[in-house]
Amino acid sequence: MSRKGQHVVRTGNKQWSVRKAGSSKVTSRFSTQEEAIAKGREIAKNQKTELYIHGADGRIRERSSYGSNPFPPKG
């Protein structure tokens, strides 16, 4: 895992976890990915970091940023 933020990953059989980037320690465990995403989003918003959502295959399938954008849209 890379970069600052929270990662929603599959752990074990039919379990989903939220982990801090760079840590092997699980922050929270859930029975569904939807529950894990909700908790990961809450943590990422509070910490103003990124949320990385991994699919069952382990690859990142979605990413959301809740931090300060150094290049905000013009308009």
The yes-or-no verdict on residue 54 having pLDDT over 50 is yes
Q: Is 0.85 surpassed by the pTM of this model?
A: no
In the predicted model, what is the mean pLDDT of residues 3-30?
91
CB atoms within 10 A of CB 4: 13
Binning pLDDT at 50, 70 and 90, where does residue 2 land? very low
> What pLDDT was estimated at residue 71?
63
In the predicted model, what is the mean pLDDT of residues 35-61?
95
Buried-exposed string 21-57: b where 16+ CB fall within 10 A, e elsewhere:
eeeeeeeeebeebeebbebbbebbeeeebbbbbbeee
Domain boundaries, the chain: 5-65
In the predicted model, what is the mean pLDDT of residues 5-25?
92
